[in-house]
Amino acid sequence: MCTSLKISPPLSSLPPILPAPTPLPPVLAPSHCTASLLPSVSQERCRVCKAGQMGEITNVTEYQAIAKQKLPKMIYDYYASGAEDEWTLKENREAFSRILFRPRILIDVSRIDMTTTVLGFKISMPIMIAPSAMQKMAHPEGEYATARAASAAGTIMTLSSWATSSVEEVASTGPGIRFFQLYVYKDRKVVEQLVRRAERAGFKAIALTVDTPRLGRREADIKNRFVLPPYLTLKNFEGLELGTMDKSNDSGLASYVAGQIDRTLSWKDVKWLQSITSLPILVKGVITAEDARLAVHSGAAGIIVSNHGARQLDYVPATISALEEVVTAAAGRIPVYLDGGVRRGTDVFKALALGAAGVFIGRPVVFALAAEGEAGVRNVLRMMRDEFELTMALSGCTSLADITRSHIYTESDRFARPFPRL
């Protein structure tokens, strides 16, 4: 794949006896070089060809293959898998690919402003980090690395309830705007304590996950008898006897959820949550207009259109397909965000064109963590940002406000206006 360029001087110009080659100083592999991460390829090859066997990482999806190589199967499968047939998992990506652009031309795009505000907090771009559990299985620095990378990129990290680092530990990594994702336990005292701790640790909002009264059937986890490795704990629950997971004849996480998570959770609990915290609440897991209207009435500060990365109910639509009906139902009263299958700057643009106020990314973060820790997560955020900026430029948009519904074609536009054949 990589060819090293050899420039030979004319023979006559060579000294008669070449001096013994001085050993080259050790050179660290470029931080985004996949060669350095593969045991079969030496650093030397990386230095010579500047990349290596798989080449330089040029998009976020490439981290998945590296993570697969590096991680034990049980852990990789936990991160990668979706529920049952994984139809929605595939569809979360494919639905993006069915949306096409209607770019505008001859617009001065020499300056592009990607900044935005989320719940009043200014961030550098409308791309944030979704909560994904147990990040220390991917890398020893886990959530610390993610928090630092998000902060360096000027964006928001959402910390999972089931993180392997506590809210206090993540706060101690330094400044940054952070949200806390909440799972509601049967024991409401536990929930209250946790919300207090998140508030004290400076978290700015609660993302209340509402799509998990039971865990979706992730067959890879069942086959692998997935369990949190014994050297790790769900740090937020350490000391409450809820920080570990027992091995079971099923997915250990599914059994944990069945034992601890409150299946009775309903809209009245959004009110209850508001009664115990003044933090704004984002309802994470809405995919219908009906629920969007209920979320508005419940006093939620925002909605995250999410199907949990296709890990809960299979055969729900891709989030990008559900987005427009939710946006229409929310009617501008609260902001609507989206996660699920966002892997390209073009995906971010499409989501914004359909009315999202921003997006969150999940798996690319854990895969990049597995590959290169904090540097990987920084690189994911950088690549997403660069691609999004380029998409804006090539579509003729200089600020997020310029991105409109008429910059894209969706399948539903087929009847409204001529649709190019796919």
Q: Is 309 annotated as a binding residue?
A: no
Q: Is 309 in the site for ligand FNR (CB under 6 A)?
A: yes
Question: What whole-number distance in Å separates Cα of residue 133 and Cα of residue 333?
Answer: 30
Q: Is 362 annotated as a binding residue?
A: yes
Q: Which of 162, 185, 226, 409 binds ligand FNR (CB under 6 A)?
A: 162
Q: Token digits for 315?
A: 């055969």
Question: What whole-number distance in Å separates Cα of residue 274 and Cα of residue 299?
Answer: 8
Q: Which of 64, 224, 251, 306 binds ligand FNR (CB under 6 A)?
A: 306
Q: What minimum distance in Å lies between the beta carbon of 325 and ligand FNR?
A: 19
Q: Are 221 and 245 in contact (CB under 8 A)?
A: no
The one catalytic residue among 32, 139, 297, 308 = 308
Give 327 or 359: the residue with its C-beta nearer to ligand FNR: 359
- Residue 281, φ and ψ in degrees, nearest 5: -115, 125
Q: Is 340 in the site for ligand FNR (CB under 6 A)?
A: yes
Give 183 or 409: the residue with its C-beta nearer to ligand FNR: 183
Q: Are 269 and 192 in contact (CB under 8 A)?
A: no
Q: Are 46 and 30 in contact (CB under 8 A)?
A: yes
Give 41 or 145: the residue with its C-beta nearer to ligand FNR: 145
CA distances (Å), origin 78, targets 66, 83, 129, 251, 260: 15, 11, 18, 10, 20
Q: Is 362 in the site for ligand FNR (CB under 6 A)?
A: yes
Does residue 308 have an active-site annotation?
Answer: yes
Q: Is 208 in the site for ligand FNR (CB under 6 A)?
A: no
Q: What minimum distance in Å lies between the beta carbon of 412 and ligand FNR?
A: 22
Give 311 or 407: the residue with its C-beta nearer to ligand FNR: 311
Q: What minimum distance in Å lies between the beta carbon of 143 and ligand FNR?
A: 11
Give 45 or 221: the residue with its C-beta nearer to ligand FNR: 221
Longest CA pairwise span in the chain (Å)? 88
Strands 116-118 and 121-123: antiparallel
Q: Which residues touch 144 (CB under 8 Å, ≥6 apart)?
A: 165, 169, 170, 173, 374
Q: Helix, strand, or coil here: 116?
A: strand
Q: Which helix (H) or strand (E) holds 384?
A: helix 363-395
Q: Which of residues 170-189 bind ligand FNR (CB under 6 A)?
A: 181
Q: Is 363 annotated as a binding residue?
A: yes
* Per-residue x/- track, 8-47, ligand FNR (CB under 6 A): ----------------------------------------
Q: Which of 338, 351, 361, 400 binds ligand FNR (CB under 6 A)?
A: 361
Question: What whole-number distance in Å separates Cα of residue 212 and Cα of residue 69?
Answer: 30
Q: Is 135 in the site for ligand FNR (CB under 6 A)?
A: no
Q: Is 385 annotated as a binding residue?
A: no
Question: What whole-number distance in Å separates Cα of residue 87 and Cα of residue 83?
Answer: 8
CA distances (Å), origin 399, targets 167, 352, 391: 34, 11, 12
Q: Is 131 in the site for ligand FNR (CB under 6 A)?
A: yes
Q: Which of residues 61-100 bind ligand FNR (CB under 6 A)?
A: 79, 92
- The residue ranges that bind ligand FNR (CB under 6 A) are 79, 92, 130-133, 160, 162, 181, 209, 284, 306, 308-309, 311, 339-342, 361-363, 366
Q: Just list the catalytic residues.
A: 308
Binding-site sequence positions for glyoxylate: 78, 183, 218, 308, 311
